[in-house]
Amino acid sequence: MGWQSRFFRDCADLIRDTIQPDEMPGLPYIGLEHISQGQLSLLGYGKSEDVVSPKSKFREGDILFGKLRPYFRKVILAPFDGVCSTDIWVVRAKTDIDQKYLFYWMASEDFIEVVSRASEGTKMPRAQWEFATRIQQKVPPLPEQRAIAAVLGALDDKIELNRRMNRTLEAIAQAVFRRWFVENEEAEGWEVVKIKDICKKIENGGTPRRDRPEYWEPGTIPWLTSAEVRQEIIVATENKISEEGFKNSSAKMWNRGTTVVALYGATAGKVSFIAQELCANQACCGLVPDNGLQYFVYLTLSSAENLLSLQARGSAQQNLSQQIVADFSIRKPDKKRLDEFNYIVMPLFEKWIANLKESRTLAALRDALLPRLMRGEARVRLLDG
Protein backbone atom coordinates (compact mmCIF):
# COMPACT_ATOMS: atom_id res chain seq x y z
CA MET A 1 0.00 0.00 0.00
CA GLY A 2 1.50 3.33 -1.09
CA TRP A 3 0.95 6.93 -0.09
CA GLN A 4 -2.70 7.77 0.63
CA SER A 5 -4.52 11.07 0.99
CA ARG A 6 -5.46 11.51 4.66
CA PHE A 7 -7.33 14.17 6.61
CA PHE A 8 -5.44 15.55 9.60
CA ARG A 9 -8.37 14.57 11.85
CA ASP A 10 -7.74 10.92 10.97
CA CYS A 11 -4.11 11.21 12.04
CA ALA A 12 -4.10 13.32 15.20
CA ASP A 13 -5.97 13.78 18.48
CA LEU A 14 -6.17 17.06 20.40
CA ILE A 15 -5.69 16.34 24.11
CA ARG A 16 -8.03 18.54 26.16
CA ASP A 17 -6.81 17.63 29.65
CA THR A 18 -6.78 20.83 31.75
CA ILE A 19 -5.94 21.30 35.42
CA GLN A 20 -5.48 24.09 37.94
CA PRO A 21 -1.71 24.56 38.41
CA ASP A 22 -1.99 24.39 42.19
CA GLU A 23 -3.44 20.87 41.90
CA MET A 24 -0.03 19.55 40.82
CA PRO A 25 2.72 21.82 42.20
CA GLY A 26 6.29 21.18 41.12
CA LEU A 27 5.51 20.34 37.50
CA PRO A 28 7.43 22.11 34.70
CA TYR A 29 5.36 24.83 32.98
CA ILE A 30 5.82 25.66 29.30
CA GLY A 31 4.45 28.93 27.93
CA LEU A 32 4.80 30.27 24.41
CA GLU A 33 7.71 32.37 25.64
CA HIS A 34 9.62 29.16 26.40
CA ILE A 35 9.46 27.80 22.82
CA SER A 36 11.89 29.09 20.20
CA GLN A 37 10.54 30.76 17.09
CA GLY A 38 11.04 28.45 14.11
CA GLN A 39 13.83 26.39 15.69
CA LEU A 40 11.65 23.53 17.06
CA SER A 41 13.43 23.72 20.40
CA LEU A 42 12.68 24.54 24.03
CA LEU A 43 14.39 27.63 25.45
CA GLY A 44 13.50 26.91 29.06
CA TYR A 45 10.50 26.39 31.31
CA GLY A 46 8.84 27.70 34.45
CA LYS A 47 7.10 26.10 37.41
CA SER A 48 3.42 25.24 37.70
CA GLU A 49 3.15 26.96 41.09
CA ASP A 50 4.18 30.28 39.51
CA VAL A 51 1.20 30.46 37.13
CA VAL A 52 -2.54 30.86 37.61
CA SER A 53 -5.70 29.90 35.68
CA PRO A 54 -6.33 26.48 34.10
CA LYS A 55 -3.47 24.98 32.10
CA SER A 56 -3.22 22.08 29.67
CA LYS A 57 -1.59 18.91 30.92
CA PHE A 58 0.87 17.06 28.68
CA ARG A 59 3.15 14.06 28.89
CA GLU A 60 6.61 13.33 27.53
CA GLY A 61 6.55 12.88 23.75
CA ASP A 62 3.40 14.92 23.15
CA ILE A 63 3.47 17.51 20.38
CA LEU A 64 3.15 21.07 21.70
CA PHE A 65 2.01 23.51 19.00
CA GLY A 66 1.68 27.24 19.68
CA LYS A 67 -1.74 28.20 18.29
CA LEU A 68 -1.38 31.93 19.06
CA ARG A 69 0.24 33.56 16.02
CA PRO A 70 0.97 30.12 14.51
CA TYR A 71 3.21 31.69 11.86
CA PHE A 72 5.88 31.92 14.60
CA ARG A 73 6.22 28.12 14.20
CA LYS A 74 6.53 27.33 17.88
CA VAL A 75 6.40 23.54 17.80
CA ILE A 76 8.24 21.02 19.98
CA LEU A 77 8.11 17.43 21.19
CA ALA A 78 7.64 17.60 24.96
CA PRO A 79 10.84 16.36 26.67
CA PHE A 80 9.02 15.67 29.96
CA ASP A 81 5.61 15.58 31.64
CA GLY A 82 4.18 18.96 32.62
CA VAL A 83 1.60 21.68 32.08
CA CYS A 84 1.44 24.33 29.39
CA SER A 85 -0.42 27.45 28.31
CA THR A 86 -3.88 26.91 26.85
CA ASP A 87 -2.56 28.79 23.81
CA ILE A 88 -0.64 25.59 23.05
CA TRP A 89 -2.25 22.55 21.45
CA VAL A 90 -1.31 19.21 23.01
CA VAL A 91 -1.42 16.63 20.20
CA ARG A 92 -0.96 12.86 19.96
CA ALA A 93 -0.84 10.64 16.89
CA LYS A 94 -3.48 8.02 16.19
CA THR A 95 -2.44 4.37 16.20
CA ASP A 96 -1.39 4.10 12.54
CA ILE A 97 0.59 7.35 12.56
CA ASP A 98 4.13 7.74 13.88
CA GLN A 99 4.29 10.46 16.56
CA LYS A 100 7.53 11.97 15.27
CA TYR A 101 6.24 11.94 11.69
CA LEU A 102 3.16 13.83 12.89
CA PHE A 103 5.44 16.30 14.69
CA TYR A 104 7.33 17.07 11.48
CA TRP A 105 4.06 17.36 9.55
CA MET A 106 2.85 19.99 12.03
CA ALA A 107 6.24 21.73 11.90
CA SER A 108 6.24 21.87 8.09
CA GLU A 109 5.82 25.21 6.37
CA ASP A 110 2.87 23.78 4.41
CA PHE A 111 0.96 23.03 7.63
CA ILE A 112 1.99 26.31 9.30
CA GLU A 113 0.95 28.36 6.27
CA VAL A 114 -2.50 26.78 6.02
CA VAL A 115 -3.39 27.08 9.73
CA SER A 116 -2.01 30.64 9.81
CA ARG A 117 -4.14 31.67 6.85
CA ALA A 118 -7.27 30.42 8.59
CA SER A 119 -6.45 31.90 12.02
CA GLU A 120 -9.12 33.96 13.79
CA GLY A 121 -8.44 37.37 15.29
CA THR A 122 -6.63 40.39 13.88
CA LYS A 123 -4.21 41.43 16.62
CA MET A 124 -3.94 38.03 18.31
CA PRO A 125 -4.68 35.45 15.58
CA ARG A 126 -5.20 31.90 16.82
CA ALA A 127 -5.15 28.71 14.80
CA GLN A 128 -8.47 26.85 14.78
CA TRP A 129 -8.38 23.12 15.49
CA GLU A 130 -11.60 22.45 13.57
CA PHE A 131 -10.02 23.97 10.47
CA ALA A 132 -6.76 22.06 10.99
CA THR A 133 -8.67 18.76 11.09
CA ARG A 134 -9.75 19.35 7.47
CA ILE A 135 -6.20 19.69 6.15
CA GLN A 136 -5.45 16.92 3.67
CA GLN A 137 -2.07 15.46 2.79
CA LYS A 138 -0.66 12.34 1.20
CA VAL A 139 0.72 10.14 3.97
CA PRO A 140 3.10 7.20 3.47
CA PRO A 141 2.73 3.79 5.13
CA LEU A 142 3.91 3.55 8.73
CA PRO A 143 7.40 2.13 7.91
CA GLU A 144 8.14 5.06 5.60
CA GLN A 145 6.72 7.52 8.15
CA ARG A 146 9.23 6.17 10.65
CA ALA A 147 12.05 6.37 8.10
CA ILE A 148 11.23 10.01 7.29
CA ALA A 149 11.08 10.84 10.99
CA ALA A 150 14.41 9.05 11.52
CA VAL A 151 16.19 11.14 8.87
CA LEU A 152 14.88 14.43 10.25
CA GLY A 153 15.27 13.17 13.80
CA ALA A 154 18.97 12.41 13.26
CA LEU A 155 19.56 16.10 12.58
CA ASP A 156 17.53 17.07 15.63
CA ASP A 157 19.44 14.51 17.71
CA LYS A 158 22.73 16.21 16.79
CA ILE A 159 21.19 19.58 17.66
CA GLU A 160 20.12 18.13 21.01
CA LEU A 161 23.61 16.69 21.57
CA ASN A 162 25.07 20.14 20.96
CA ARG A 163 22.57 21.61 23.42
CA ARG A 164 23.59 19.14 26.12
CA MET A 165 27.28 19.74 25.44
CA ASN A 166 26.66 23.46 25.77
CA ARG A 167 24.96 22.93 29.14
CA THR A 168 28.14 21.16 30.28
CA LEU A 169 30.40 23.90 28.89
CA GLU A 170 28.26 26.52 30.62
CA ALA A 171 28.38 24.61 33.92
CA ILE A 172 32.18 24.35 33.75
CA ALA A 173 32.56 28.08 33.01
CA GLN A 174 30.25 28.99 35.88
CA ALA A 175 32.01 26.60 38.27
CA VAL A 176 35.41 28.11 37.43
CA PHE A 177 33.99 31.61 37.87
CA ARG A 178 32.50 30.77 41.28
CA ARG A 179 35.68 29.10 42.51
CA TRP A 180 37.95 31.91 41.37
CA PHE A 181 35.84 34.97 42.10
CA VAL A 182 33.02 34.10 44.53
CA GLU A 183 34.26 31.38 46.88
CA ASN A 184 37.88 32.55 46.85
CA GLU A 185 38.80 34.00 50.27
CA GLU A 186 41.33 36.32 48.62
CA ALA A 187 38.43 38.15 46.94
CA GLU A 188 37.68 39.88 50.25
CA GLY A 189 40.77 42.02 49.73
CA TRP A 190 40.05 43.02 46.15
CA GLU A 191 38.98 46.49 45.11
CA VAL A 192 35.20 47.06 45.09
CA VAL A 193 34.09 48.77 41.87
CA LYS A 194 30.90 49.27 39.92
CA ILE A 195 30.23 47.49 36.64
CA LYS A 196 30.41 50.84 34.85
CA ASP A 197 34.02 51.21 36.04
CA ILE A 198 35.12 48.19 33.97
CA CYS A 199 33.07 48.93 30.83
CA LYS A 200 33.93 51.18 27.90
CA LYS A 201 30.26 52.10 27.62
CA ILE A 202 26.83 51.11 28.87
CA GLU A 203 23.88 52.07 26.69
CA ASN A 204 20.34 51.13 25.76
CA GLY A 205 19.21 50.19 22.27
CA GLY A 206 16.40 51.64 20.18
CA THR A 207 13.55 50.78 17.81
CA PRO A 208 13.03 52.28 14.34
CA ARG A 209 9.56 53.66 13.58
CA ARG A 210 7.17 50.88 12.65
CA ASP A 211 5.26 53.07 10.18
CA ARG A 212 8.33 53.44 7.95
CA PRO A 213 8.69 50.22 5.90
CA GLU A 214 12.05 51.37 4.57
CA TYR A 215 13.41 51.20 8.14
CA TRP A 216 12.77 47.45 8.16
CA GLU A 217 13.14 46.30 4.56
CA PRO A 218 15.52 45.19 3.30
CA GLY A 219 16.57 44.02 6.74
CA THR A 220 20.34 43.56 6.83
CA ILE A 221 21.30 44.44 10.43
CA PRO A 222 20.52 41.91 13.21
CA TRP A 223 18.18 43.55 15.76
CA LEU A 224 17.72 41.94 19.18
CA THR A 225 14.60 42.26 21.34
CA SER A 226 14.48 41.78 25.10
CA ALA A 227 12.25 38.72 24.61
CA GLU A 228 15.25 36.96 23.05
CA VAL A 229 17.40 37.57 26.12
CA ARG A 230 16.49 34.10 27.39
CA GLN A 231 19.38 32.56 25.50
CA GLU A 232 22.73 32.55 27.25
CA ILE A 233 24.57 33.30 24.00
CA ILE A 234 23.10 35.15 21.02
CA VAL A 235 24.40 33.94 17.63
CA ALA A 236 21.44 35.20 15.56
CA THR A 237 18.36 37.38 16.00
CA GLU A 238 14.75 36.83 14.97
CA ASN A 239 14.48 40.30 13.39
CA LYS A 240 16.57 42.62 11.24
CA ILE A 241 16.39 46.31 10.42
CA SER A 242 17.64 48.25 7.41
CA GLU A 243 20.56 50.67 7.21
CA GLU A 244 18.02 53.51 7.06
CA GLY A 245 16.29 52.20 10.16
CA PHE A 246 19.58 52.06 12.04
CA LYS A 247 20.59 55.58 11.01
CA ASN A 248 17.21 57.05 11.96
CA SER A 249 16.78 55.44 15.37
CA SER A 250 18.58 55.28 18.70
CA ALA A 251 19.70 51.69 18.04
CA LYS A 252 23.39 51.11 18.82
CA MET A 253 25.76 48.60 17.23
CA TRP A 254 27.31 46.20 19.72
CA ASN A 255 30.26 43.92 18.97
CA ARG A 256 30.89 40.32 19.95
CA GLY A 257 31.72 40.13 23.65
CA THR A 258 29.06 42.64 24.71
CA THR A 259 26.84 41.57 27.60
CA VAL A 260 23.14 42.44 27.27
CA VAL A 261 20.70 42.79 30.18
CA ALA A 262 16.93 42.85 29.57
CA LEU A 263 15.52 45.87 31.38
CA TYR A 264 11.79 45.17 31.32
CA GLY A 265 9.14 42.75 30.18
CA ALA A 266 8.96 39.04 30.91
CA THR A 267 12.76 38.70 30.68
CA ALA A 268 13.71 41.64 32.95
CA GLY A 269 17.00 40.80 34.66
CA LYS A 270 17.99 38.11 32.16
CA VAL A 271 21.51 38.29 30.73
CA SER A 272 22.98 37.24 27.35
CA PHE A 273 26.45 37.19 25.78
CA ILE A 274 26.64 38.58 22.24
CA ALA A 275 28.50 36.35 19.76
CA GLN A 276 27.99 38.50 16.65
CA GLU A 277 27.69 42.19 15.81
CA LEU A 278 24.11 43.39 16.28
CA CYS A 279 21.89 46.17 17.56
CA ALA A 280 18.91 45.92 19.93
CA ASN A 281 15.71 47.57 21.11
CA GLN A 282 15.41 50.00 24.00
CA ALA A 283 14.49 47.25 26.47
CA CYS A 284 18.06 45.95 26.15
CA CYS A 285 21.04 47.44 27.97
CA GLY A 286 24.41 46.71 26.36
CA LEU A 287 27.58 46.59 28.44
CA VAL A 288 30.73 46.88 26.32
CA PRO A 289 33.51 45.70 28.66
CA ASP A 290 37.10 46.82 28.85
CA ASN A 291 39.58 44.61 26.99
CA GLY A 292 39.91 41.14 28.50
CA LEU A 293 36.84 41.48 30.68
CA GLN A 294 34.07 40.18 28.40
CA TYR A 295 33.76 36.74 30.03
CA PHE A 296 34.15 38.12 33.54
CA VAL A 297 31.42 40.73 33.03
CA TYR A 298 29.02 38.23 31.46
CA LEU A 299 29.51 35.56 34.13
CA THR A 300 29.31 38.17 36.91
CA LEU A 301 25.92 39.41 35.74
CA SER A 302 24.55 36.02 34.68
CA SER A 303 25.31 34.71 38.18
CA ALA A 304 23.34 37.68 39.54
CA GLU A 305 20.24 37.16 37.34
CA ASN A 306 18.00 36.31 40.30
CA LEU A 307 19.08 39.46 42.12
CA LEU A 308 18.53 41.61 39.04
CA SER A 309 15.09 40.05 38.45
CA LEU A 310 14.14 40.73 42.08
CA GLN A 311 15.17 44.36 41.69
CA ALA A 312 13.00 44.60 38.57
CA ARG A 313 9.97 43.10 40.32
CA GLY A 314 10.52 45.32 43.33
CA SER A 315 10.41 48.59 41.36
CA ALA A 316 7.22 50.57 40.82
CA GLN A 317 7.42 50.07 37.04
CA GLN A 318 8.41 46.38 37.30
CA ASN A 319 11.61 47.04 35.39
CA LEU A 320 15.32 47.73 35.68
CA SER A 321 17.09 50.89 34.66
CA GLN A 322 20.43 51.36 32.98
CA GLN A 323 21.58 53.09 36.17
CA ILE A 324 20.78 50.07 38.37
CA VAL A 325 22.84 47.84 36.07
CA ALA A 326 25.71 50.34 35.80
CA ASP A 327 25.93 50.74 39.59
CA PHE A 328 26.05 47.00 40.28
CA SER A 329 28.97 46.45 42.70
CA ILE A 330 31.63 43.79 42.17
CA ARG A 331 35.11 42.90 43.41
CA LYS A 332 37.68 43.42 40.68
CA PRO A 333 40.50 40.86 40.42
CA ASP A 334 43.98 41.78 39.20
CA LYS A 335 45.00 41.49 35.55
CA LYS A 336 47.16 38.38 36.08
CA ARG A 337 44.25 36.45 37.56
CA LEU A 338 41.92 37.66 34.79
CA ASP A 339 44.39 36.56 32.12
CA GLU A 340 44.61 33.09 33.69
CA PHE A 341 40.81 32.94 33.92
CA ASN A 342 40.41 33.91 30.25
CA TYR A 343 42.92 31.22 29.26
CA ILE A 344 40.60 28.62 30.80
CA VAL A 345 37.14 29.90 29.83
CA MET A 346 37.77 31.34 26.35
CA PRO A 347 37.99 27.85 24.71
CA LEU A 348 34.77 26.89 26.52
CA PHE A 349 32.96 29.90 25.04
CA GLU A 350 34.47 29.31 21.59
CA LYS A 351 33.21 25.71 21.53
CA TRP A 352 29.84 26.79 22.94
CA ILE A 353 29.43 29.37 20.16
CA ALA A 354 30.62 26.93 17.46
CA ASN A 355 28.02 24.39 18.63
CA LEU A 356 25.26 27.00 18.47
CA LYS A 357 26.23 27.98 14.94
CA GLU A 358 26.43 24.34 13.84
CA SER A 359 22.98 23.71 15.30
CA ARG A 360 21.54 26.58 13.27
CA THR A 361 23.10 25.11 10.11
CA LEU A 362 21.66 21.67 10.93
CA ALA A 363 18.24 23.21 11.58
CA ALA A 364 18.37 24.95 8.19
CA LEU A 365 19.23 21.63 6.51
CA ARG A 366 16.36 19.91 8.35
CA ASP A 367 13.93 22.62 7.27
CA ALA A 368 15.08 22.32 3.65
CA LEU A 369 14.62 18.54 3.67
CA LEU A 370 11.34 18.54 5.60
CA PRO A 371 8.92 19.72 2.86
CA ARG A 372 10.53 17.52 0.20
CA LEU A 373 10.25 14.42 2.38
CA MET A 374 6.69 15.21 3.48
CA ARG A 375 5.53 15.74 -0.12
CA GLY A 376 7.30 12.63 -1.41
CA GLU A 377 9.61 14.70 -3.64
CA ALA A 378 12.56 13.01 -1.92
CA ARG A 379 12.18 9.42 -0.79
CA VAL A 380 13.87 7.57 2.04
CA ARG A 381 15.29 4.16 1.31
CA LEU A 382 13.79 1.54 3.61
CA LEU A 383 16.07 -1.10 5.09
CA ASP A 384 14.90 -4.70 4.94
CA GLY A 385 13.85 -6.18 8.26
Number of domains making up the chain = 2
pLDDT tens for each residue of 252-310: 999 999 999 999 888 889 999 999 999 999 999 999 999 999 999 999 999 998 888 88
Residue type, 357: K
**319 located within any domain:** yes
pLDDT at 318 (0 to 100): 64
Query: Residue 241: enclosing H or E segment and its boundaries?
Result: strand 239-241
- Mean pLDDT, the chain, rounded, equals 93
pLDDT at 385 over 50: no
Task: Tell whether 13 and 135 lie within a shared domain.
Answer: yes
**69 located within any domain:** yes
Task: Tell whether 198 and 328 lie within a shared domain.
Answer: yes
pTM tops 0.85: yes
How far is residue 145's CA from residue 345's CA, in Å, rounded to a whole number? 44
pLDDT (mean) for 149-176: 96
How far apart, in Å, are the Cα atoms of 132 and each of 25, 75, 129, 141, 309? 33, 15, 5, 21, 39
**357 located within any domain:** no
Q: Would you give the end-to-end CA distance of the chain in angstroms?
A: 17
Q: Which of 173, 134, 194 is nearest to 322 (CA)?
A: 194
**92 located within any domain:** yes
Is the separation of the CB atoms in 112 and 125 below 8 Å? no
How far is residue 289's CA from residue 197's CA, in Å, rounded to a whole number? 9
pLDDT at 120 (0 to 100): 78
| DSSP-derived secondary structure letter, 276 | S
Task: Tell whether 200 and 328 lie within a shared domain.
Answer: yes
Is the separation of the CB atoms in 346 and 295 below 8 Å? yes
Task: Tell whether 131 and 242 lie within a shared domain.
Answer: no
Domain range enclosing 113: 4-139
Task: Tell whether 127 and 201 lie within a shared domain.
Answer: no
Domain end (from 100, 120, 139): 139
Residue type, 65: F
How far is residue 241's CA from residue 218's CA, in Å, rounded to a whole number? 7
Percent with pLDDT over 70 in the chain: 97
Other beta carbons within 10 Å of 314: 8
83 beta partners: 29, 57
**229 located within any domain:** yes
CATH code at position 65: 3.90.220.20
Domain end (from 332, 358, 374): 332
